Amino acid sequence: MIELAFPPAFILIIGALLIAVARPALRPVIVLLTPLVTLWAIWRLPDGVLLTTQFLGYPIELVEAGKLRRLFATVFAIMAFAGGLFGLKQARWTELAAAYAYAAGAVGVAFAGDLITMFLFWEFMAIFSTVVVWCGGTEGARRAGVRYAIMHLVGGVVLKIGIEGVMIHTGSVDIRPLDLDTFDAWVVLAGVLINAAAPPVSQWLSDAYPESSPTGGVFLSAFTTKTAVLALILLFPGAEVLVWIGLYMVFYGIIYALLENDMRRILSYSIVNQVGFMVCGVGIGTQMALNGAAAHAFVHIIYKALLFMSAGAVMYQTGRRKCTDIGGLYRSMPLTMTCGMIGALSISAFPLTSGFIAKSLISEAAGQQGLELVWLLLTAASAGVFLHAGIKFPWFVFFHRDSGLRPADPPWNMRAAMLLFSAACIVLGCFPALLYPLLPYPVDYVPYTAAHVVTQLQLLMFAGLAFFVMLSQMERMLTITLDFDWFYRVLLVRVAKVVERTWSWLLELLRQLRRDLGTVLGPRFEAWFLPHGRLAQTWPTGSMTLWVTVILVLLVVLAQRDTLP
């Protein structure tokens, strides 16, 4: 049974190591085979806890399989395959190895049966995703990578504090739903939410991901936030606070993406937006909502990676990433444009695309629970998704005004990866029966009803109308939008400089004081303490005798005091 329960994450780790040491000619084979072997291993795992050991007296469940975990691990492995294919010839081997190790962390979290294992793989992801950011290779990437690493290490520490609290107070490290009635549970929630790019730290995502390489962005878009969603489903299903956090993320992503100029930063904000839908679904917490969150994570990974691939292809072919520098690329990059459009339609949940069959589960769940406000906001947000990711991204990259650039479509492997995921978006959209049986709970929902198709088309088409009516309001500008990171990138530096200046001023003041006091007190000290000073002189015996007499008299008087009446 040992080989049955071999942790799938270890296959990806071995693959990453092999990529690092293999001869260049063998590398593509390893890159393409590793995720497939992983996928095979994932589907061979029977349900239940499969591999246990002991650590510090706690039972460690290295592999615990189940429908939900298998669903996430499956899409992680598929993602690794497509990402590897996309970067097969273009990415450096260091980047591919790091990306596979990163994917291994995600698969490891998916199958972690206890909080300790989850934490270890969690940190594993943090380390190797930082390396992937650094593989962007620019000074901007180096700096963004440092900020990214700090954010995730802080998140890791927060998570660890929470996990240790749970360990001590409940005596169990098992992964099971936690009630938000203890401090420990809240700290665990905070640690998980940091990785989900929840407020107020959502900007770590849009800060780091656009600095990565074309391949790096594809990998980064998939794993960190979605493992956080999985952790939320496992640990905090139905926690009401998540509904509101999710709704905030949904609108935060839309608003910031509307203001953004960098094409991959638009997509990064869009990740926060999409994860917001999932977080909201977890907060609603019914079986349908949890199904929706899981299904949405699955299809989101595919279409968001597809969008990042098309943006990465543009970046690879033109070396540019700002909407102000590109535009009109449909002329020379028809395939990239088509695949980008399929991704854009999928994220907008157009009928016959994967988004349609997944996202509607969440809003349907909100409707079933009678949460009218939540439902209204989710519906508005669905329209907003079409606005910022569905039209804005392809419009400013592939259409709009002609930038004069005529780059060709990217090399064959990049095209193949894009085609693969485009096909996946459409096949899943047309045949929901492929996805629904994989969801954790039985699905009693038919996405393709006339009413649903009509209402969804109304919503999206009129969102499109709003885009073109408001086009003049959305002219691209060479700007960024300030976010929470301003507090630690600018304000904190300013405060640090003020503190530094105050400190050096204080030191100078002390020095001055010493000097001034020295001129006043110096001669006195010399007169008393130096070898020729007062205290160093020999004194006459008579004065000593006198003082001894005085002390004796005092002692006698004090000793008599008690006996006096």
- Interacting positions 436-455 with other proteins (CB under 8 A): 450-451, 454-455
- Applying CB under 8 A, which part among 35-43, 64-72, 212-220, 255-263 lies near other proteins? 255-263
Stretch that binds other proteins, among 10-18, 86-94, 374-382, 550-558 (CB under 8 A): 374-382
Alpha carbon separation from 139 to 129, 133, 167, 212, 257 (Å, rounded): 17, 11, 41, 11, 24
Q: What is the DSSP string of 325-384?
A: T---GGGT-HHHHHHHHHHHHHHTT-TTSHHHHHHHHHHHHHHHTT-HHHHHHHHHHHHH
Nearer CB in complex with other proteins: 303/375:
375
Q: How far is the CB of 147 from other proteins (least distance, A)?
A: 8
The identity of residue 150, as a single letter, is I
In angstroms, the CA 138 to CA 332 distance is 28
Exactly one of 319, 437, 522, 523 binds other proteins (CB under 8 A); which one?
Answer: 319
CA-to-CA dists, residue 544 to 174, 539, 541, 549, 550, angstroms: 80, 8, 5, 9, 10
State in angstroms the smallest separation of the CB of 191 from other proteins.
Answer: 25
Residue 48 phi/psi, 5° resolution?
Answer: 110, 180
Cβ atoms of 408 and 337 within 8 Å: the answer is: no
**Distance (Å, rounded) from C-alpha 126 to C-alpha 546?**
80
For the CB of residue 181, give the shortest distance to other proteins in the complex, in Å.
32
Min dist. Cβ of residue 210 to other proteins (A):
9
Minimum distance of other proteins from residue 234's CB (angstroms): 30
Kindly state the smallest distance separating residue 219's Cβ from other proteins, in Å.
20
Kindly list the distances between the CA atom of residue 90 and the CA atoms of 101, 255, 410, in Å, as whole numbers in the listed order.
18, 33, 10
SS3 352: coil
Stretch that binds other proteins, among 52-60, 98-106, 186-194, 318-326 (CB under 8 A): 318-326
Q: Which stretch binds other proteins (CB under 8 A): 223-231, 324-332, 416-424, 504-512?
A: 324-332
Based on CB atoms, which residue is closest to other proteins, 4 or 482? Answer: 482
Cβ burial of 35 (10 Å; 0-12, 13-18, 19+) is buried
Nearer to other proteins, 462 or 525 (CB): 462
Stretch that binds other proteins, among 21-29, 77-85, 253-261, 414-422 (CB under 8 A): 253-261
502 contacts other proteins (rule: CB under 8 A) = no
**What residues from 384 to 413 belong to the interface with other proteins (CB under 8 A)?**
384, 387, 399, 402-407
Cα-based angle 155, 160, 165 (whole degrees, multiple of 5):
130
CB of 449 to other proteins, least distance (A): 9
Closer CB to other proteins, 225 or 317, in the complex = 317
Among 160, 321, 359, 415, binds other proteins (CB under 8 A): 321
Query: What whole-number distance in Å separates Cα of residue 505 and Cα of residue 432?
Result: 69
Q: Which of residues 112-141 bind other proteins (CB under 8 A)?
A: 138-140
Alpha-carbon gap, residue 342 to 420, rounded angstroms: 12
Sequence-separated (6 or more) residues with CB below 8 Å from residue 19: 27, 30, 31, 34, 93, 96, 97, 100
Residues found in the chain: 565
* Six token digits for residue 114: 């206890």
CB closer to other proteins out of 190 and 255: 255
Can you spell out the DSSP letters for 131-152?
HHHHTT-SHHHHHHHHHHHHHH
Nearer to other proteins, 186 or 399 (CB): 399
- Sites for other proteins among residues 41-100 (CB under 8 A): none
Residue tagged 């990415």 (tokens): 91
Closest separation in Å from C-beta 402 to other proteins: 5
Residue carrying structure tokens 């004090």: 558
Rule CB under 8 A: choose which of 225, 261, 336, 422 binds other proteins.
Answer: 261
Residue 114: left if φ>0, alpha if ψ -120 to 50, beta else—which one?
beta
Residues contacting residue 492 through CB under 8 Å, at least 6 positions apart: none
Please report, as residue ranges, which positions from 193 to 252 form the binding site for other proteins (by CB under 8 A): 251
User: What residues contact 166, with CB distance under 8 A and at least 6 apart?
Assistant: 115, 172, 173, 178, 182, 184, 185, 188
Residue 472 or 541 having the CB closest to other proteins:
472
Among residues 372, 508, 516, 526, the one that binds other proteins under rule CB under 8 A: 372
- In the complex with other proteins, the residue whose CB is nearer, 53 or 138, is 138
Pick the binder of other proteins from 86, 119, 248, 375 (CB under 8 A): 375
Query: Per CB under 8 A, which of residues 458..497 are in contact with other proteins?
Result: 458-470, 473-474, 477-483, 489-490, 493, 496-497
For residue 174, list its beta bridge partners: 114
Of 138 and 545, CB closest to other proteins: 138
For residue 293, which of 241, 365, 341 has the smallest C-alpha distance? 365
* Residue 87, φ and ψ in degrees, nearest 5: -100, 15
Minimum CB–partner distance for residue 456 and other proteins (Å): 8
* Count of residues touching other proteins (by CB under 8 A): 72
CA dist 248 → 189, 200, 273, 527 (Å): 16, 10, 9, 74
Toward other proteins, which CB reaches closer, 14 or 459?
459
Q: Which of 320, 335, 352, 395 binds other proteins (CB under 8 A)?
A: 320
> Nearer to other proteins by C-beta: 105 or 447?
447
* Start-to-end Cα distance in the chain: 98
